[in-house]
Amino acid sequence: MLLALCGGLIHYFNSVAPGVISSDRRLKGAANALMIHLGVENQRFTLEASPNAKPPLPSPESIDYAVRDSQGRLLLGDAKLTGAALSGSNSDVFAMAEVNQQSVRTLTTRFNSRGGVVFITVADAHREGEPVVRYSFMSTLLWDFVQLDITLVLVWVGIRLGLRPINRLRDEIAARSTLDLRPIDEASVPREIVPVAVTLNRLFHMLRTSVQSQQQFIANTAHQLRTPLTGMQAQIDLLLIEPDAEPIRGRLQILREGISQLAHAANQLLTLARADPAVNIAAKRQTVQLHSLAADVVGRHIDRALQKDIDLGVEAQPAVLFADPSLIDDLASNLVDNALKYTPPGGTVTVSTGEVDGKAYLSVEDSGPGIPESERPLVRQRFYRLPNAQGHGSGLGLAIVDEIARLYDASMTIESGPNGAGTRVLIHFPARTVT
C-alpha cells in the first residue's frame, strides 16, 4: 500500500504537477499584467491596453478575470468568476472555483489601486487539458490500486496453497495422542521443512528411548524390592509357627505387619511411578475386558473380605476399553483395597462395570464412613489421609487411581453411596479408540 501511494505521488509530480505549476505561473503573470493596466477615470475602473506597458495585457481568449471592490461588487470582467476570501496577512491566494459547471483553478490578488483596494481574480480560459491530465492521473492511480488488490489476493491464495503441506503436518501431529511417538514420514513433507521433520523424529526417538529406560528401571526396582520383602515375610511366617518363638511372638507379629505395610507401600509407589504420564508416553494399548478384570480383582480380595466379615461382590456387565491391562488392574485393585480398608465389619463392597453410550465405566461402592464433600478434592493428592482415618494407609490409593484415570483421559467422580451413606467412586472412560 505504501509503495502504491509512493507511485501515485511520483506519477502526480510527473504528469499533473507540471501542468499545475505552469498554470499557476500564467495566472500570476496575468494578475500582474492586470494590476499594471488597471486605471481609474471619473471613479470608474478601466483597463488601459497600453502597448508600451510590460507585461502586456493578456488576451481575453487566454485569461478570464474579474475585478471587485472591497464590498465584493463587480468592477470589471466576468461576473461568474468568484474570488477566494483573503486573510489579513495574505495578498494573494490560489483556489478552485466553479465556472460554467466546470472546476477551474483561480488566483485572487489584493491590489491597492488609485481608486482604493480592489481584488483581482484570474482563471485560465484554456482548461481543456487539465481535466484530461487529472482524469489520466486518477485512472492510473485507480488501476494501481486495482493491481495492488489483485496482487494481494494472488499472494494470499499462493500462501494458502503453499502452506497446505505444513498445515497437514501440523494437523497430523495435533491429532496424535501423547502416547503416539511414531516417526513422521519425511517423504510426505515438502523439502523445505524436511529438517523440521528430521528433528522431530530425533526427538521422538529420544523420548522413546528415555521411556523404555524408565520402564526398565521401574521393572528392575520392583523386582529388587519385592523379592527381599517377600522373603522376609516368608521367614517371619515360619518363625511364627515355631514353638521356640512363643516369647517373642507378639513382636514378630508387629514386625510381620510392618513388613507387609512396607511391601504394600512399595508396590503403591511403583504403581504411581508407572502411572506417571511422563513414563507412559509410549504406554501399550490393548483390548481390556473390564468386566473380566474386575471379577479377577474381586477374586484376589475375597479372603481379605471374609477375614473382615465384609460382603464383597461384583456386578459385571460387559465393558471393553483400550489400555494397559496392568495399569487398569492397579486402578481397580487400589479402589477395592481402599474400600475394604475403611469399611467396618458387616459392611458391603460392590464392584460394578458396564458401558453407557459406548463408554466403559468402573464403579466401587462401599458402606464405610464416607468422604466429606469438602475433603473429596484433597483425597486425590498424594499422601493425604482423612483426619481420624482408621488403619495405617499411606494416602496413595486414590492418588494412584486419579493418576491412571488422567493418563487415559478418564474422569474420576467421588460421591456418596445410597441414602448418603458410604462412598462411591466412579471411573468413566472415554469412547474406545485404537491408537
Each residue's pLDDT tens digit, 107-157: 899 888 877 888 989 887 665 555 666 666 677 778 878 888 899 999 999
Say which residues have a Cβ less than 8 Å from residue 166's Cβ, sequence separation at least 6.
190, 193
CA distances from 46 to 35, 37, 69, 77 (A): 11, 8, 13, 10
| pLDDT (tens digit per residue) in 313-347 | 999 899 999 888 888 998 999 899 889 988 889 99
Are the C-beta atoms of 233 and 225 separated by less than 8 Å?
Answer: no
What was the pLDDT predicted at 240? 82
pLDDT averaged over the chain? Answer: 81
> How far from the centroid of its chain's Cα atoms is residue 196's Cα?
22
pTM: 0.48
Domains defined for the chain, CATH in brackets? 2-134 (3.30.450), 284-435 (3.30.565.10)
Under the banding of pLDDT at 50, 70 and 90, the label for residue 349 is very high
Mean pLDDT value of segment 77-95: 81
pLDDT in tens, 248-271: 888 888 888 888 777 777 776 676
Nearest to 235 by CA among 269, 200, 259, 203: 259
Query: Binning pLDDT at 50, 70 and 90, where does residue 388 land?
Result: low
Q: What is the pLDDT of residue 330?
A: 87
